[in-house]
Chain A
């Protein structure tokens, strides 16, 4: 009788453990997906930021020879640095 009652008890324990396993697996998958989404968004933001900064620097360098672009730099709050000589190079 005792041995016979062990099988339903073990089955119940197995069921409970399996349910917990399913819940933990689902939660882990959700957390991992969210973390991966955050990482990809951060990568896109960093990529955009690096490219915009590089473009700003190159535009600032370009503005040393073509002063017409300075107004664009000024519109985003950047003051382009003048060349040391101060001589204006004609635009191409």
Chain B
């Protein structure tokens, strides 16, 4: 009795499946449209950021290169000056107090090779604001 299949379920199932597929396709289309709109907005924002950062870099780079060239040119003179001061402070302890206020690393010895003089001046990283922007009065 129960073994005989009814003829109606097969067309019904295929209709339901077709409806489900159509609904799914509709949902996928909607999701894709929303995603495309979101990515378009993100693209616009990122393109703007790209343009701004490129412009900032273009403005920063030439004066920076100029400043770096001047700094690199003056670095041996600065190093030489600091080394001479360190040597002087070794023989004049009262000058050590002056030198100790500044964050320059002390030169190792007076006999410095010429190559070492070309190294950049070593300072403590400038995280805190420098305490002496202006020249302080000599202390007695």
Contact = CB atoms under 8 A, between A and B. Distances in A.
Interface of A: 3-4, 6-7, 10-11, 13-14, 17-18, 20-21, 24-25, 27-28, 31-32, 34-35, 38-39, 41-59, 61-62, 64-66, 68-69, 72, 75-76, 91-92
Contacts of A53: 135
A32 to B, nearest CB: 5
A67 to B, nearest CB: 12
Identify whether the interface residues of B are mostly helix, strand, loop, or mixed: helix
Contact of A17 (B43, B125, B134): B43
Nearest to B53: A31
Interface of B: 25, 28-29, 32-33, 35-36, 39-40, 42-43, 46-47, 49-50, 53-54, 56-57, 60-61, 64, 67-68, 71, 77-78, 80-82, 84-85, 88, 92, 94-95, 98-99, 101-104, 121, 123, 125-126, 130, 132-138
Contact of B50 (A7, A27, A66): A27
B23 to A, nearest CB: 12
B132 A14 contact: no
A54 B139 CA distance: 14
B36 A17 contact: yes
Identify whether the interface residues of A are mostly helix, strand, loop, or mixed: helix
A38 B61 contact: yes
20 contacts: A7-B32, A10-B33, A11-B32, A14-B32, A14-B36, A18-B39, A21-B42, A21-B43, A31-B50, A38-B57, A38-B60, A41-B64, A43-B126, A45-B67, A53-B135, A54-B134, A55-B102, A56-B81, A58-B101, A69-B92
